[in-house]
């Protein structure tokens, strides 16, 4: 019986210690994040533009997005506000902030169940033959546990995954 109690207390202290460490990691991380990544792709700006702005197709391209619901559209039918449902539950509402066809697309995360906000800017610059794609992330996470989780996953994981998705779509052309 004494061994069982010692094991239970030891396991409890270990788990409590890990939780405290996880929260401490989140607490000491900077809430704001800024990073930019660029890559030259052998594809036309229009093709890349059509791919990155196809909001309805996100569930087919990104396994973590279960569904997308268009909430508002511009006069030309371009989605200007949409709700994404991620596979971990919750929601994320994005709004279109800047739209220069085949050149620049800026979206903003305006509301999320994860206590996050931010913007992602996609810039396309023709570089014969091909296009220089630049993605810039400016985000903020106010939740300490979410910051801890992002630290463990890699704070730039979303940015890296976006560029990888675009690269994979247009590689081998």
Mention every residue, 6+ apart, whose C-beta is less than 8 A from residue 134.
36, 37, 38, 121, 122, 123, 125
Q: What is the set of domains in the chain, with CATH numbers?
A: 31-170 (3.30.530.20)
Length of the chain: 173
Confidence at residue 42, expressed as pLDDT on a 0 to 100 scale: 93
Helix or strand (DSSP H, E) at 153: helix 144-153
Divide the 173 residues of the chain into consecutive groups of 10 and give the mean pLDDT of each group.
Answer: 80 81 75 94 95 94 93 92 93 96 96 92 93 96 83 84 93 64
Instruction: Determine the Cα–Cα distance for residues 124 and 81; give it in Å rounded to an integer.
Output: 22
DSSP string, 91-145: -EEEEEEEEETTTEEEEEEEEETTSEEEEEEEEEEE-SSSEEEEEEEEEEE--HH
pTM for this prediction: 0.84
Task: Give burial (CB, 10 Å; 0-12/13-18/19+) of 82.
Answer: buried
């Amino acid at each position: 019986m004494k061994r069982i109690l010692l094991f239970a207390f030891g396991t409890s202290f270990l788990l409590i210690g890990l939780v405290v460490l996880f929260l401490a990691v989140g607490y000491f991380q900077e809430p704001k994040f800024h990073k930019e990544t660029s890559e030259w792709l052998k594809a036309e700006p229009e093709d890349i533009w059509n791919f990155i702005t196809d909001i309805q197709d996100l569930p087919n391209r990104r396994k973590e997005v279960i569904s997308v619901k268009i909430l508002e559209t511009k006069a030309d039918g371009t989605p200007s506000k949409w709700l994404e449902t991620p596979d971990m539950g919750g929601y994320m509402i994005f709004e279109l902030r800047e739209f220069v066809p085949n050149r620049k697309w800026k979206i903003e995360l305006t509301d999320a169940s994860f206590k996050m906000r931010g913007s992602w800017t996609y810039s396309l610059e023709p570089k014969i033959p091909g296009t220089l794609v630049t993605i810039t992330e400016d985000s903020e996470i106010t939740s300490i546990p979410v910051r801890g989780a992002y630290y463990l996953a890699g704070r730039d994981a979303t940015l890296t995954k976006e560029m990888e998705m675009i690269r994979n779509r247009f590689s081998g052309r």
